[in-house]
Structure 1
Amino acid sequence: MILELIEGNTTPGKSKIGIVVSRWNSMITEKMLEGALKALKGNGIVEEDITIVRCPGSYEIPLAVQNVIEHRDVDGVIALGVVIRGGTPHFEYVCDAVNRGITDLILKHNKPVAFGVLTTDDVKQALERAGEKGNKGGEAALALLEMISIEQKLRSSDN
């Protein structure tokens, strides 16, 4: 028997959101940003409660996210970037660093960070995930809103 079930939703109410988006592969990240903004606005988040920070590339995303968390009053952050496999091990190093960096920040600051960093084999796959076959930026935004909702419900049940 389940003692208690807590589930989130994508309408957590008034929430302040940070979005960190890399400029590298901007033809893809801009589409992801558009998808994230559309999802946020479609779920009641107003423009005044959204802070967008642009950073050079995906490798720089964890530091930018950390600065948003530490210097802006946000309930959570969406990290948007693209890493495309090349012929060298650089892909693995960048992907691992971004993944570890974001995971460490979530645990350190106890704030949700949605992982909207595409890791693809080629540009075609990235474009598909940025709009042609769904938008991972929008999906990341919805995941963040759900996590914010879960945190709100857990905090309110503490009282």
Structure 2
Amino acid sequence: MKLGSAEHGDIQIDAHAKFAIVAARFNSEIVNNLLQGALSTLQDHGVSAANIDVLKVPGAFELPVLAQHLADSNKYAAIITLGCVIRGDTPHFDYVAGECARGVMEVSLNSGVPVIFGVLTTDTPAQARARADLEGDNKGVDCALCALEMTTTIKHIQAEL
């Protein structure tokens, strides 16, 4: 295992489980690669395209509110949020990145639905591209694997209660 990557545990697909992916349109070149990685990973692990809903929001700051509505619907086993915030010359990065992360975590904790944080927070566009590579490191892939593992783990816990 390389540093900066996660080992993924048990993944068992429930054929009826639905997943939502909420993707920001800001920095779309990067986010579309993350989305492609997440979609192909879910489908490669047996999730049918019919069980994956993709919704778009303007930017990373809007991800938590849509994730909250999706979690409240009780339709989804997990929700994946995807975005990209690149540091600029103003403190905008700090406000957006921090609040987005906090909001996504709040939705997950308050709803009990795994809401996966797939927002790249980088200093440069090159760093973002390196983490959204369709041929190599792609955090969208990691987020999809995380969503699958979390739904498997939660299902096991619920079966034992």
| TM-score, reference length from structure 2 | 0.90
Matches within 5 A, 1:68-147: 68-71=70-73, 73-131=75-133, 133-147=136-150
Partner SS, residue 79 of structure 2: strand
Counterpart-to-counterpart distance in 2, 1:52 and 1:125: 25
Counterpart-to-counterpart distance in 2, 1:155 and 1:25: 38
| TM-score, reference length from structure 1 | 0.91
Counterpart-to-counterpart distance in 2, 1:13 and 1:74: 12
Partner SS, residue 124 of structure 1: helix
| Residue 11 of structure 1, CA deviation | 2.8
Partner SS, residue 130 of structure 1: coil
Query: Do 1:81 and 1:118's aligned partners in 2 also have CA atoms closer than 8 Å?
Result: yes
The structure whose Rg is larger is 1
Counterpart-to-counterpart distance in 1, 2:136 and 2:45: 21
Once the two structures are superposed, residues 70-92 of structure 1 have per-residue CA deviations (whole angstroms, 9 ceiling, x without a partner) of 23611110000000000111101
Structure 1 gap ranges (5+) = 1-6
| Residue 8 of structure 1, CA deviation | 4.9
The structure-2 alpha-carbon separation of the partners of 1:104 and 1:120, relative to structure 1 and needing over 3 Å to count, comes to same
Q: Which residue of 2 aligns with 1:40?
A: 42
Structure 2 gap ranges (5+) = 1-7
Is 1:157 aligned to 2:160, yes or no? yes
Is 1:27 aligned to 2:29, yes or no? yes
User: What's the RMSD between the two structures over aligned residues?
Assistant: 1.4
Counterpart-to-counterpart distance in 1, 2:50 and 2:118: 22
Q: Which has the higher contact order (CA 8 A, sep 6+)?
A: 1
Q: What amino acid sits opposite 2:111 in the alignment?
A: H
